Structure 1
Amino acid sequence: MATLKVPPQPPSPSEDSEQLRKAFQGWGTNEALIISILAHRNAVQRKLIREAYYLAYGEDLLKDLDKELSSDFERAVLLWVLDPAERDAFLANEATKKLTSDDWVIIEITSTRSSLDLLKAKQAYQSRFKKSLEEDVAHHTSGDIRKLLVPLVSTYRYEGDEVNMTLAKSEAKMLHEKISKKAYNDEDLVRILTTRSRAQITATLNQYKNEFGNAINKDLKTDPKDKYLKLLRATIKCLTYPEKYFSKVLRLAINRLGTDEWALTRVVTTRAEVDLQRIGEEYQRRNSVPLDRAIAGDTSGDYKGFLLHLAGHDN
């Protein structure tokens, strides 16, 4: 359930690119015009606008936006204008390059995208950075975290709804045995989470709860400070209930002593065309505040306006 509002008959890509060019000219940038166009075009339309812009002016729209805009607003617009696969490649590369690698971003990209979208992101990664995402993730992680992340990045899951209930029962039992023994890094536990389809994992985890009384994430909360266990729980949440995971990321980004704009921007730009509406419903259910009001109260200026437009609130 996307929140993005696209006009039923938008102007042609060449008209849009002409308007954007106008927004860059004259005294100061016309940010309102940029928002009114880019925050109301889907991924295909944005790609066509970039192509039309290059054809008309011989320049990359992204570079011109980079020159004209600044700070959080600039980052949000640039991430949004990127093709989804390019965006994922960029975010993943950034996550491995940070001084303390941001493993949550890798978990999000590997566990909430379809197998085809993950493959496209990996192709975009190779094309842009001249190496593989697997290579960089393996290089920037170690120990149990590497043991979890490398298979997640390498996987190509079955996307259908077929479920094998016999397998779900036996694997639920196996997971319970491993967790009871605190063998959280066990090969079979990691294999189940990194290779099975979402439908199969959901069936296995439902079976786990029915048979053993607790949701698996509750049993994995034995040591709240253990980063590997946190990542394991995040993987399970992303695979089975992404809106719950993202609504928590947003709550942590907004409700801290200074907003975590990077996390806020990442969730809004990557989910606006996917399930931001469901994430917003989950956010309101858990925090008793509508997501748009929370964003508006914690941001300002063009950055606030742009995020609210992506979230489907034009006022």
Structure 2
Amino acid sequence: MSYYPSNHQNSDYGAPFAPPNNQGYYPPGGFNLPQSPGNPPPIPSYSYPASNYQPHPPLPPFHNGYAPTYLPPPASQSHGGYTPGPPPSQSTYPGVSYQTPQYSHYQNQASIIQYRNTPVPAPVGYDLPPLGDIAAGYDPSMDIDKIRKATKGIGTDETALIAVLAHLGSLPIASLSAAFKARTGKTLVEVLDSETSGYFGETLHGLVQGPLWHDAELARSAIQGAGTDELLLTEVIADLTPSDRQNLFMAYRMRYGRDLQADIRNDLSAKTERLFTMMISSNPPPDNVAVNFQQVEHDVKALYKAGQGKIGTDEITFCDIIINRSKPHLAALCDAYGRKYKSLTKVIKSEFSGHMRQTLLFILEGAKPKHSMEFGPGVWRDAKMLEKSMKGLGTKDKQLVRRIIRYHWDRPRFEAIKAAYQKKYRKSLEGRIAGETSGDYKKLLVAIVKGI
């Protein structure tokens, strides 16, 4: 998908705007901010380089507390390996070819929502099964028999569990969990938790919960007990759309009987509390809205005055701009600020410390123009986050597990992450994980990464 519209023309901004090649996000010279309001620069199309990818339209806001109106997924969109409507053509990423598995349309009996670009059953209460045949084309009966056989009697057949669970997308996982409870009177999570342990068990636990309920659990673990895991909270919340956040808030309330927004505010203090309150309350323009380059120029000046241009730092101005702008806007802002002053990420590293620095960099690096045209927004950052889980002495297994599970649901995007990892570190993600883990835990993670 081209970053530039077909009608780009030479203008008053210096060098002509030629379409970028596969090596860059912007044309040579970058964006020249407008000298004449009548001739805006070309508008970025901020999406993954797969020809069949279209962002899901935002869901309507909540009314009367927690009662969203759910929309079916668009007929042409592929998520997590399961395809509503006619199967799309093959999706191709740089250096990788990924064929979406063939499945038939979703059934009307179940409410399907989009959460982090992945179809999931609408949250109807923790441990309550979704209604209807939510994963048409998938029959969980044989997999239930295999799981029961693998967990029956003395010992557990871990290899059989890997073969059943590692390749399933979000809707089949939900269908399997619902059917398992109906047939056995136990939840799949309960059975697997009792039969497995260690990071192998933790990985299976996250898998069978699916994307939405797993995120609700991660958010709870980030703020439960002494202290707060701000990095985990950032990873769960920072990239969510407003509709994603609403569904996460609903799932959290249904599972824990608590308000996630209130829990976050009560667990933090001072400027960190303000930062996260801004994140969970933000409503930036959708990424398909045209970038206002006059606003970009205004933000460049505001950030300079809030940081480099004064003694001390106006942290809230930085938070306001970085949190409340769309990804295309932030991409243009990084480019414009870097050409006029210096790298915006370097400014944040010098002006901030601790959790604020960590969170602002996470958001900004998910929108930076570098490699975004080649791999998609945030893909390069997420490849780096996986490496950070394994770098140095010892493996940060909890980080590795949650990142692999969270990233893998959106399978086309995960294939792009694997390609970005290969390009940056000159080795495959599967090989790197295999070298850092062992036993059934290794086999499970490698199987998830391979998707087979």
TM-score scaled by length of structure 1: 0.90
Question: What's 2:94 paired with?
Answer: none
User: C-alpha deviations, 1:261-308, integer Å up to 9, x for none?
Assistant: 000001100001223322223333332222111100010111111111
User: Quick check: 1:299 aligned with 2:442?
Assistant: no
**Structure ID, larger Rg:** 2
1:36 corresponding residue in structure 2: 163
State the distance in 1 between where 2:209 and 2:321 align. Answer: 33
Q: Classify the secondary structure of the residue corresponding to 1:252.
A: helix
* Contact 1:29–1:68, Cα closer than 8 Å, also in 2: yes
Displacement of 1:184 in angstroms is 4.2
Quote the offset at 1:252 in angstroms.
2.2
Equivalent runs, 1:108-187 vs 2, <5 Å: 108-162=235-289, 163-180=291-308, 181=310, 184-187=313-316
Which residue does 1:191 correspond to in 2? 320
Q: Distance in 2 between matches of 1:56 and 1:297?
A: 39
Matched-pair contact (CA < 8 Å) for 2:158–2:440 = yes
Shift of 1:61: 0.8
Query: What CA deviation, in whole Å up to 9, does each residue of 1:57-112 have, x standing for no partner?
Result: 11111101111111101111111111311111110110112534211122122222
- Structure 1 position 248, deviation (Å): 2.6
- 1:105 partner SS: helix
CA distance in 1, matches of 2:421, 2:352: 22
Q: Tell me, in whole angstroms, the C-alpha distance in 1 between the residues paired with 2:225 and 2:219.
A: 10
Structure 2 residue 422 is the aligned partner of structure 1 residue 284: yes
Are the structure 2 counterparts of residues 135 and 184 from structure 1 closer, same or farther at C-alpha, using a change threshold of 3 Å? Answer: farther
Among 237, 243, 257, the alignment partner of 2:379 is 243
Aligned mates of 1:23, 1:15 — CA distance in 2: 12
The separation in 2 between residues aligned to 1:255 and 1:224, in whole angstroms, is 24
* Contact 1:13 1:49 survives alignment (8 Å): yes
Render the CA deviation track for 1:111-169: whole Å, top value 9, x for unaligned: 22333222211211111122222212112222222121111122233324222111111
Q: Which residue of 1 aligns with 2:112?
A: none
Unaligned runs of 5+ residues in structure 2 are 1-47, 49-78, 82-98, 104-136, 369-376
Q: Report whether the alignment pairs 1:269 with 2:405.
A: yes
Could you tell me how far 1:207 is from its partner in structure 2?
A: 2.1
SS at match of 2:307: helix
- Single out whichever of 275-284 and 140-149 deviates more from structure 2: 275-284
Distance 1:51 1:111 in 2: 30
With over 3 angstroms needed to count, the CA separation of the structure-2 counterparts of 1:239 and 1:141, relative to structure 1, is farther
Q: Residues 328 and 367 of structure 2 are in contact (CA less than 8 Å); yes or no, is this contact kept in structure 1?
A: no
Q: Distance in 2 between matches of 1:84 and 1:43?
A: 7
Contact 1:54 1:60 in 2 (8 A): yes
Please name the residue that 1:50 is paired with.
177
Confirm or deny: 8 A CA contact 2:252 2:260 kept in the other structure: yes
Aligned partner (choices 144, 150, 156) of residue 17 of structure 1: 144
Partner of residue 216, structure 1: 344
Structure 1 gaps of 5+ residues are: none
Partners of 1:247 and 1:280 within 8 A in 2: yes
Q: Verify the 8 A CA contact 2:307 2:314 in the aligned structure 1.
A: no
Q: Does structure 2 conserve the Cα–Cα contact (< 8 Å) formed by 1:243 and 1:279?
A: yes
TM, length-normalised to structure 2: 0.64
Cα pair 1:148 1:190 within 8 Å, conserved? yes
Aligned pairs, how many? 313
Distance in structure 2 (CA, Å) of the matches to 1:115 and 1:34: 35
The structure carrying a bigger helix percent of its residues is: 1
In structure 2, distance between residues paired with 1:90 and 1:245: 23
Residue 177 of structure 1: CA displacement?
Answer: 1.7
SS class of match (2:404) = helix
Q: CA deviation at 1:178?
A: 0.9
1:311 is paired with a residue of what secondary structure?
helix
Residues 269 and 220 (structure 1 numbering): CA distance in 2 closer, same or farther, change over 3 Å? same
| Deviation of 1:235 (Å) | 2.4
Kept after mapping to 2: 8 A contact 1:6/1:41: no
Q: How many angstroms apart in 2 are the aligned matches of 1:188 and 1:222?
A: 16
Query: How far apart, CA to CA, are the structure 1 residues paired with 2:177 and 2:287?
Result: 34
Which amino acid in 1 is paired with 2:450? G
The two structures, once aligned, show a CA RMSD in angstroms of: 2.4
Assess, with a 3 A threshold, how the Cα gap between structure 1 residues 133 and 272 changes in structure 2: closer, same or farther: same
When residues 199 and 67 of structure 1 are mapped into structure 2, their CA distance, relative to the original with a 3 A threshold, is same
**Distance 1:199-1:7 versus aligned 2 partners, 3 A rule:** closer
